[in-house]
């Protein structure tokens, strides 16, 4: 599958409180969470983000709490994927489990500028910056996690196993 | 092949002779945990799996502790999902308000987790139980849902980093200061995906409360788990308390570590982490003049008996500064009772502080102590991210209970030595 969108750039150590502040965690409704996505990092983000847009970030994206509401909010806001230098561990797991595509690609995360048009081939992990013409290779996903993606998330994967 | 304690526990739960870092394993879980924020999502996902029962109704704890006592109607609806799910599946370890405590204070106290266990919890501070010599790590709601159905989870075996603390601790220095100093040194992703094993004479002499505080904050360095090899202090704590059989694992002397850090604990002062990352720690003597509006003593990091006693020792006979509000949150009902018996509440209240029922409340900006725009708090909690305790333009400084108490008295960030 190919993802395509305009990029929004954030710094390093974007924590889950910035992605979805705890004051909104008295619900798990994706649409409501999306309305506050990235609010404490950029209050205008929920209004300006368009379906297909991508988040580009530095190291340790999604650090902090285990709230799955963070990748849920990003996905429900229409963001097609997150490209970062590195991801915090629990966020990384959660993103796969709920089906938010994420790509670890330090060089791409460094180079890509806000507003660039980018495409990502989810199968090969090849990232292309349409604005500059430069391509990058994301760190390969372990085969086991590819199975989770292929099944459509952890719950489907587990359901299959339980049959 | 020699293994670390983390590798040994993972191997035992994967039914293997040995495991190596980087290996993906399916591991049996001894205990799983969710709270009123994470469990509602997990319950919804669990119901999609299509199984009728949970893997073991005695090995799942649902603890409504974050927005409880319910702060609003939506929170009440979330908490209700936990109550109903627990009833439906006959969960033994559902904790209603009044029996509830902050999850990471409650589970060790109640003997629900013990040495050698493998625990996953849908809360990032689940790493706390490593203090008992367990492998314990935080996961998301979907992982919790899968584990509730299967009784197992998939894990990547982490590399281990050893943190050796030589020397004797200075007065008023505890687990909080050691871990803030460590995070200050290695950064908020300094142990990303890795096991943090704390060792050395200063750790051996550290109380269980102090050890729980240290392992609690392993996640703030990006760690997968924090862990301390169990010893006599561990044995004293778990004997007669643990509800299941437990096992003490040791790291082999020639086990492989990705890195070894050496610290001289006798040189570490009480620490303060400045906004907006836990890695911004520095000795309290270098804090400068920072006026504060609120002091929070409590949380899964520092809401235990030793923490409350330490704060009370400084607050006894003193008054909270006129510009400051002090809120104290005992971690569990048992801690609450004990603190009451010891007269600590009288000390806090006479000093002009408020004492609350156990809740995570202000630590995550939930309720019971939210900051307004421009307000500043010093807190014994674990995170000082932007907006963590309220308005995005408020500030949180992290410290140990003694620094928090001294700061409450002086109205600015202060070391315990200034009020003793």
What ipTM is given for this predicted complex? 0.96
B71 contacts A26? CB cut-off 8 A: yes
Q: Are B395 and B305 in contact (CB under 8 A)?
A: no
Average of per-residue pLDDT values in chain B: 98
Return the percentage of chain B with pLDDT > 70, whole number: 100
| CB nearest to B387's CB, from A17, A90, A159 | A17
How do residues B191-236 score in pLDDT, each as one tens digit? 999 999 999 999 999 999 999 999 999 999 999 999 999 999 999 9
Pull the structure tokens for residue B381.
């909690």
| CB nearest to A98's CB, from B66, B123, B142 | B142
Specify the pTM: 0.97
Nearest CA in chain B to A41: B386
| CB nearest to B385's CB, from A17, A72, A159 | A17
For residue A129, the cross-strand partners are: A118
A69 contacts B24? CB cut-off 8 A: no
Report d(CA B331, CA A126) in Å as an integer: 48
A97 contacts B78? CB cut-off 8 A: no
How do residues B225-263 score in pLDDT, each as one tens digit? 999 999 999 999 999 999 999 999 999 999 999 999 999
Report d(CA B21, CA B352) in Å as an integer: 52
Residue of B189, B217, B219, B367 to mutate, testing the A interface (most A Cβ within 10 Å of its Cβ)? B189
B51 contacts A94? CB cut-off 8 A: no
B399 φ/ψ angles, rounded to the nearest 5 degrees? -160, 180
CA nearest to B26, candidates A144, A104, A103, A33: A144
Residues B305-314 as b/e (b if ≥16 CB within 10 A, e otherwise) read bbbbbbbbbb
Report d(CA B32, CA B148) in Å as an integer: 7
Q: Can you give the pLDDT at residue A163?
A: 76
Largest CA distance in chain B: 61
Q: Can you give the pLDDT at residue A125?
A: 95
CB-neighbour burial class of residue A43 (10 A; exposed 0-12, middle 13-18, buried 19+): exposed
How do residues B51-70 score in pLDDT, each as one tens digit? 999 999 999 999 999 999 99
Nearest CA in chain A to B49: A159
| CB nearest to B387's CB, from A21, A26, A63 | A21
B387 contacts A64? CB cut-off 8 A: no
Residues of chain A below pLDDT 50: none
- B307-319 average pLDDT score: 98
A69 contacts B142? CB cut-off 8 A: no
DSSP assignments along B266-316, one per residue: GGPPPEEEPTT-TT-EEEGGGS---B-SEEEE-HHHH-SHHHHHHHHHHHT
């Amino acid at each position: 599958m190919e993802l395509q969108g305009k990029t929004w750039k954030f710094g390093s150590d974007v924590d889950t409180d910035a992605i979805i502040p705890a004051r909104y965690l008295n619900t798990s409704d994706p649409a409501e969470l999306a309305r506050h996505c990235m609010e404490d990092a950029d209050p205008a983000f929920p209004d300006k983000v368009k379906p297909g847009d991508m988040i580009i970030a530095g190291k340790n994206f999604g650090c902090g709490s285990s709230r799955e509401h963070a990748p849920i909010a990003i996905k429900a806001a229409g963001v097609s994927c997150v490209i970062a230098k590195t991801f915090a561990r629990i966020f990384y797991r959660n993103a796969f489990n709920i089906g938010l595509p994420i790509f670890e690609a330090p060089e791409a995360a460094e180079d890509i500028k806000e507003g660039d048009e980018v495409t990502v081939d989810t199968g090969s992990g090849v990232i292309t910056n349409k604005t500059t013409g430069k391509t990058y290779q994301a760190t390969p996903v372990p085969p086991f996690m590819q199975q989770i993606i292929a099944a459509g998330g952890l719950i489907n994967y587990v359901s299959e196993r339980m049959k | 092949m020699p293994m670390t304690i983390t590798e040994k526990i993972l191997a035992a739960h994967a039914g293997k002779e040995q495991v190596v870092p980087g290996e993906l394993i399916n591991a049996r879980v001894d205990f799983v945990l969710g709270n009123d924020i994470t469990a509602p999502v997990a319950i919804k996902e669990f119901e999609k799996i299509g199984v009728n029962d949970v893997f073991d109704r005695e090995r799942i704890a649902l603890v409504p502790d974050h927005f409880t006592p319910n702060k609003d109607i939506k929170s009440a609806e979330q908490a209700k999902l936990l109550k109903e799910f627990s009833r439906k599946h006959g969960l033994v370890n559902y904790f209603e308000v009044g029996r509830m405590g902050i999850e990471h204070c409650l589970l060790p106290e109640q003997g629900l987790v013990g040495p050698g266990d493998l625990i996953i919890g849908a809360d990032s501070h689940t790493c706390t139980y490593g203090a008992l010599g367990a492998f314990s790590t935080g996961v998301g709601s979907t992982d919790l849902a899968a584990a509730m159905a299967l009784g197992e989870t998939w894990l990547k075996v982490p590399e281990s980093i050893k943190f050796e603390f030589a020397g004797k601790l200075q007065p008023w220095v505890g687990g909080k200061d050691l871990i803030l100093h460590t995070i200050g040194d290695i950064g908020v992703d300094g142990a990303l995906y890795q096991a943090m094993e704390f060792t050395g004479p200063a750790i051996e002499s550290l109380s269980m409360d102090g050890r729980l505080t240290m392992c609690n904050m392993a996640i703030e360095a990006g760690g997968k788990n924090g862990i301390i090899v169990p010893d006599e202090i561990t044995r004293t704590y778990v004997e007669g308390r643990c509800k299941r059989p437990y096992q003490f694992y040791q790291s082999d002397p020639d086990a492989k570590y990705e890195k070894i850090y050496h610290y001289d604990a006798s040189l570490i002062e009480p620490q303060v982490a400045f906004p907006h990352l836990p890695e911004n720690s520095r000795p309290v003597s270098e804090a400068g003049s920072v006026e504060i509006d609120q002091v929070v003593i409590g949380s899964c990091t520092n809401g235990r008996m030793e923490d409350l006693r330490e704060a009370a020792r400084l607050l006894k006979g003193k008054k909270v500064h006129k510009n400051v509000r002090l809120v104290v949150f005992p971690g569990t009902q048992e801690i609450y009772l004990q603190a009451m018996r010891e007269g600590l509440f009288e000390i806090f209240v006479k000093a002009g502080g408020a004492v609350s029922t156990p809740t995570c409340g202000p630590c995550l900006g939930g309720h019971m102590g939210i900051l307004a725009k421009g307000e500043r708090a010093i807190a014994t909690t674990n995170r000082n991210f932007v907006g963590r305790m309220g308005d995005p333009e408020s500030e949180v400084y992290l410290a140990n209970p003694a620094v928090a108490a001294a700061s409450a008295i002086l109205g600015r960030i202060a070391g315990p030595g200034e009020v003793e």
